[in-house]
Amino acid sequence: MNPNLDLGTPLGGKAAPDFTLTNQFGQTMSLSKFRGRVVLLGFEDSECTTVCPLTTESMVLAKELLGSAGTNVQLLGIDANPDATAVSDVLAYSKAHGMVNQWDFLTGSATQLKKTWKAYGIDVEIEQGQIDHTPALYLINSRGVLVKVYLTQMAYDSVGQQAQVLAQEISTLLPGHPKLKSTESLATITAESPAIAQTLPSASGSGTVALGPGKARMVVFFASWLSETSALKSQLTALNAYAKQSGLPSLVGVDETVTEPSPDAISPYLPGLAYPVALDKTGRVADGYGVQDQPWFTLVNAKGKVVWSHDGWTTLSVLKSAVKKAA
């Protein structure tokens, strides 16, 4: 009954289509090379700032939940961005997400990738400069047989739950069916909307940051891995111009910690900021504020209602205009 989870669709025991592509180190890899290991195969945009980081994190967490048995699981990604297919592109994504030595992120020529996308039923389209693709994650057993396909949902708070679903299914395919290191309820998680008063830990390591009704706020959601596709430090510093303007709703930054490669990944970007940055460790705040991408700006009025949202970095003039129109 949890709409933010996909429990997987059985695939009828068909053989997983083989492919030969190149990983982030420039090495040639074929799916058949990993026969004998359970494979999690995700299709991910090498420059994605929306759903792909959620897929990546769920793959990593699923393997971690299996403990030592996770060594029998291979994580694979295949690039689903037709405009960023160089080895340097998949390496950059891997570095930004702390995945360089945790998986093989594969790419190839346009012909190779299109053939592989077609074999796995992956639709890839470019709409207004944005990549839109099927967010599919395939589970393949040690004999190279397709077991299930999962579709990642755009919900930050369910990343850990999705990882548990994956790990539980993987366990049934491993010798001895190992128990998971930990489990949690798979019930729907209540998101924390702007109408709810809440206190989040500060990214600085001390103190807290308040959100919720009582005063208007401009909230910007982001994560350290945006450094792959934008000058993150410069963009965050540029927001000081807004924070120092009098008469405007206070600015609060929120790091989407649930998708970070490590708890302190955002630390290098904090010095010099004139506004507080909070940690959204569960993803409940991002979901409650309707975040669909990174970065994501939300203007909330004193009653705790979202009155304006913006996808992507923007300018001081745009932010001031949004405040004026919402007044």
Q: Does residue 129 have a pLDDT over 90?
A: no
Domain boundaries, the chain: 9-171, 198-326
Would the CA dihedral through 306, 311, 316, 318 be positive or negative? negative
Model pTM score: 0.96
Token pair in block for residue 126 = 């470019």
Which residue, among 173, 310, 170, 228, has the nearest Cα to 52 in the 3D structure? 228
| Widest Cα–Cα separation across the chain | 64
Q: Does residue 127 have a pLDDT over 90?
A: no
Q: At what angle do helices 159-171 and 52-65 cross, to 10 degrees?
A: 50
pLDDT number for residue 1: 83
198-326 has CATH 1.20.58.1030 classification: no
pLDDT number for residue 280: 98
Q: Does residue 93 have a pLDDT over 90?
A: yes
**Tens of pLDDT, residues 34-61:** 999 999 999 999 999 999 999 999 999 9
Confidence label for 327 from pLDDT (cuts 50, 70 and 90)? confident
Q: Which CATH superfamily is domain 9-171 in?
A: Glutaredoxin (3.40.30.10)
**Cα 326 from Cα 284, distance rounded (Å):** 25
Q: What is the mean pLDDT of residues 100-129?
A: 95
Residue by residue, what is the 3-state secondary structure of 182-196? CCCCCCCCCCCCCCC
**Tens of pLDDT, residues 137-171:** 999 999 999 999 999 999 999 999 999 999 999 99
